[in-house]
Amino acid sequence: MKPGDAAAVEQLFNDVAPRYDRFNDLLSLGLHRQWKRQLIAWLRPCQGERWLDLCCGTGDLALALARTVRPGGEVIGLDAAGAPLELAEERRSVEPWLNVQWLQGDAMATALPNASFDGVVMAYGLRNLADAGAGLAEMHRLLKPGGRAGVLDFNRLPEASLSAAFQRQYLRRVVVPAAALANLEPQYAYLEASLERFASGAEQEAMAREAGFAVVRHRPLMAGQMGVLLLQA
């Protein structure tokens, strides 16, 4: 599968949707939930605010945001793939008091109004876009002046570093073999290929400044294996 192929990425997430959350918990030892909580803590959403979760998948981050901005707040979760959104709605139905809406659409061209959100997040989505810079520009367009944004993803490490070697071996020896047991090897083998074309933290910062963000900072997580790009319009 070619990284950045929008149709292929959409099909991938439709295919893995029923097992996506279980695999994330297994392969990260549940830590992905902590990283998302850390992202929210850094962004400090407030009651009554309106937030957007791009590439929202099965909705765990959007639902966590909705719990934070209630009462009076609203969250929209948008994803290109339909199957994850169906699961997201099933999860929301357990907490019907949460004000969350789900939209199927393109994170690089949402068709949502300018300056309509207090905050925007994206977890494990920027790496999959055909044009990461266009994705960041769309986030900036959607934010109110002074609005905050955060992007959580794998961190692309220096090729010759020990951390990069660990990352590669973990993907090859743990992630892909585990996925193969569930007949999902091609879908999870895609992770390493997508990382090879992904922007480094410094490159993400440069793209964010070009997109118009006034405050830009990339912060490492988990000894640099993950990274968070923190932004303010």
Higher pLDDT, residue 160 or 94: 94
Domain span at residue 212? 6-155+195-232
Residue 68 lies in a domain: yes
Task: Please give the distance of CA 224 from its chain centroid, rounded to a whole number.
Answer: 17
148 domain residue, yes or no = yes
Considering the domain boundaries, does residue 1 fall inside one?
Answer: no
Q: Tokens 């830590």 belong to which residue?
A: 31
Is the pLDDT at 9 greater than 60, yes or no?
Answer: no
Give the tens place of pLDDT for each residue, 30-81.
Answer: 788 889 999 999 999 999 999 999 999 999 999 999 999 999 999 999 999 9
Residue 161 belongs to a domain:
no
Please state the domain count of the chain.
1
Most confident of 121-130, 193-202, 203-212: 203-212
Look at 233 and 162; give whichever has higher pLDDT.
233
d(CA 46, CA 3): 36
Residue 4 clears pLDDT 60, i.e. is over it: no
Q: Is residue 17 part of a domain?
A: yes
- Report pLDDT for 139: 98
The pTM of this model reads 0.87
Mean pLDDT over 128-142 rounds to 96
| Cα–Cα distance measured from residue 209 to residue 207, given in angstroms and rounded to the nearest whole number | 5
**Which of 97-101, 110-114, 133-137, 221-225 shows the lowest mean pLDDT across its residues?**
221-225
For the chain, give the mean pLDDT. 87
Q: Rounded to whole angstroms, what are the CA distances from 167 to 157, 172, 175, 176, 222?
A: 9, 9, 10, 12, 11
- Mean pLDDT (whole number) for 195-222: 93
Asked whether residue 2 carries a pLDDT value surpassing 80, the answer given is: no
The pLDDT assigned to 5 comes to: 58
**CA 13 to CA 186: how far, in whole Å?**
12
Does a structural domain hold residue 45? yes
**Residue 187 forms part of a structural domain:** no
User: Is 168 within the bounds of a domain?
Assistant: no
Assign residue 78 the CATH number of its domain.
Answer: 3.40.50.150
Residue 21 has pLDDT above 70, yes or no: no
- Position 182 confidence tier, pLDDT thresholds 50, 70, 90: low
